[in-house]
Amino acid sequence: MQDPKSPPHRRDLIHDWNLAPGIPSLPRKRVTFDDESLRDGLQSPSVRDPSIEDKIRILHLMEDLGIQAADVGLPAAGPRAFADTLALARETVTAKMALRPNAAARTLVKDIEPIVEISQQVGRPVEVAMFVGSSPIRIYTENWEMAKLLGLAEEAVTYAVKNGLPVMFVTEDTTRATPENVTALYETAIRSGARRITVADTVGHATPDGVRAIVAYVRALADRSGEEVFLDWHGHNDRGLGVINTVTAALAGADQLHGTALGIGERSGNAAMDQILVNLRLLGLVENDLSRLPEYCRAVAEAVGMEIPANYPVVGRDAFRTATGVHAAAVIKAAKRGDAWLQDMIYSGVPASLVGRDQEIEIGPMSGVANVSYWLTRRGIEADPTLVDRIFQAAKQAKAVLTDQEILALVEEQRS
């Protein structure tokens, strides 16, 4: 029996309904990640194509985060795309990265030929991430014939495999495709030598129930082949379900998850890689060191010319910041117990320390005197009652959180 005077065990302080009876058990295997920030993410009409120096810096941050693979471009798109893809693939060799490069292509030999050339130049196989539309709406609009699609897929996969390149076969719009189309395309690809297949929720159509259904269907299809075939999930965020769908895919048996930093990508974007990493780490499905996650997100934001919203999960300015009196008081009480974990978790579902950050207490119109005393003490300033009251009254009259400069000005005024 636990001594009533001793601190309780951490497991007794948080009841985790995420692990309640009846909830599907977590898979035992470790999932891997494929970062699409430098290719699919750049399809957003609101971002700029980064310099190759920025792309290389981001590639190294992916490596530091333990991301296993990255889409480094679509080299058939033109000379600049080819040059950047080549430079990034070469960097993985020069820097001796564990990260595996892949490059996008349609199921056309002419799209795969530049990837073969790049692989030969850098001396490392670059996985071919070839994609083809699979839904009836796409096939009807394009006036395609399934027999022709299957023929192109077989030719493209066979060509890549003969040239020593691994193949990731992606069916676009899988979540709106018929079982017959899905089966025909994947069976053709696997028979031709593809050993990684990707279910793509290209327009963000799926719900978690749909994710479970399609992943189970494709997993069974792959297992029937008798080959060792890895299954990937590629999600978009059109319904705001990008991250939860990707987590669901992992729980349903996907081997590798795709995403982009901050969810950049076409329309409403892709599933956010940063949020996927955090959620999978908290679920215990991965052990990646995420201390450089904020740096990765900032690097991508700066490179593509966008701002990170203040309330963006985990890496946003306000993610671990509070000025509310009741909330701040709880954090302060936890701090006084001398337990960093308690302080980190009392008012946060994600520990700030997981990503190298701290809980921050600010002073504003909704703050209490405890906020003021804590703020001063943390900066080595004596929390004199008169000074505390002066700052507290100023905060109550303000329309927003006081800046550090405003508070320090009040401190100097009081001292003088």
Write out pLDDT tens, residues 170-209: 999 999 999 999 999 999 999 999 999 999 999 999 999 9
Mean pLDDT, residues 38-67: 97
| pLDDT > 60? residue 97 | yes
Q: Tell me, what's the pLDDT at 401?
A: 94
Q: Tell me, what's the pLDDT at 1?
A: 45
Residue 6 lies in a domain: no
Q: Tell me, what's the pLDDT at 5?
A: 57
C-alpha–C-alpha distance, residues 211 and 152, integer Å: 27
Residue 286 lies in a domain: yes
Q: Where are the beta strands (DSSP E) in 192-345?
A: 196-201, 230-235, 256-259, 321-322
Beta carbons within 10 angstroms of residue 286's beta carbon: 20
pTM of the predicted model as reported, rounded to 2 decimal places: 0.93
Are 251 and 376 part of one and the same domain?
no
Could you tell me the pLDDT band of residue 125, with boundaries at 50, 70 and 90? very high
Note the pLDDT tens digit of each residue in 304-329: 999 999 999 999 999 999 888 888 88
Structural contact between residues 300 and 365, judged by C-beta atoms closer than 8 angstroms = no
Note the pLDDT tens digit of each residue in 235-265: 999 999 999 999 999 999 999 999 999 999 9
Are 193 and 226 part of one and the same domain?
yes
Q: Tell me, what's the pLDDT at 13?
A: 86
Beta carbons within 10 angstroms of residue 379's beta carbon: 11
Residue 5 lies in a domain: no
Are 236 and 382 part of one and the same domain?
no
Could you tell me the pLDDT band of residue 24, with boundaries at 50, 70 and 90? low
The tally of domains found in the chain comes to 2
Q: Tell me, what's the pLDDT at 414?
A: 87
C-alpha–C-alpha distance, residues 300 and 53, integer Å: 12
Are 151 and 227 part of one and the same domain?
yes
Q: In the listed set 279, 304, 329, which residue is the last one of a domain according to the structure?
A: 304
Are 277 and 371 part of one and the same domain?
no
Q: Tell me, what's the pLDDT at 291?
A: 97
Are 143 and 286 part of one and the same domain?
yes
Q: 61 is in which domain, residue-wise?
A: 25-304
| Residues whose CB is less than 8 angstroms from the CB of residue 72 and which lie 6 or more positions away in sequence, other chains included | 38, 39, 59, 84, 85, 88, 89, 101, 102, 103, 126
| Residues whose CB is less than 8 angstroms from the CB of residue 28 and which lie 6 or more positions away in sequence, other chains included | none
C-alpha–C-alpha distance, residues 335 and 344, integer Å: 9
Are 29 and 123 part of one and the same domain?
yes
Share the mean pLDDT of the chain. 94
Residue 238 lies in a domain: yes
Q: Tell me, what's the pLDDT at 23?
A: 65
Note the pLDDT tens digit of each residue in 54-79: 999 999 999 999 999 999 999 999 99
